[in-house]
Amino acid sequence: MNDCIFCKIVRGEIPCSLIYQDDKVMAFKDINPLAPVHILIISKQHIESVQSLDKNNSQIVAHIFEKIPYIAKEADIAKSGYRVISNIGKDGGQVVPHLHFHILGGRALCTALG
Ligand code: 5GP
Ligand code: ZN
């Protein structure tokens, strides 16, 4: 068993506000929301970040991106728009080293990326 926070959420050892799950992914509310809608969608398998993707595990990204439109629609941000972000490593501001994508919406987001 690893100590990863998101693996603990997958195993049910840490509670979360669940939005969606299937055998490969889990989506839940971010504990520290930066927008009215702030959902994280994660792989159930422990993959460190986008930087750890390769031809053997990258199908998970297609699966995640197939679910995002459904999650956005359910969260009522599909029409107004939203942003999908994945932070990678130290300079990318990644705090939890487990593959995840932020889904942010419910307000006009700042246009600057830096
Ligand atoms: P990162 O900077 O790694 O891309 O973002 C990690 C995100 O995970 C942060 O937005 C943080 O608020 C969120 N987070 C960290 N720990 C927990 C937790 O235990 N539960 C939930 N729901 N979100 C968490
Ligand atoms: Zn993990």
List pLDDT tens digits, range 39-76.
999 999 999 999 999 999 999 999 999 999 999 999 99
pLDDT at res. 25: 98
User: What pTM does this model have?
Assistant: 0.97
List pLDDT tens digits, range 79-91.
999 999 999 999 9
CATH topology of domain 5-105: HIT family, subunit A (3.30.428)
Whose alpha carbon is nearest atom 5 of ligand 1?
95
SS (H, E, C) 33-96: CCCCEEEEEEECCCCCCHHHCCCCCCHHHHHHHHHHHHHHHHCCCCCCCEEEECCCCCCCCCCC
pLDDT over 80 at 7, yes or no:
yes
- Tell me, yes or no, if 98 is annotated catalytic: no
Domain ranges of the chain: 5-105
48 lines ligand 1 (CB under 6 A): no
Residue 87 main-chain phi, psi, to 5 deg:
-85, 140
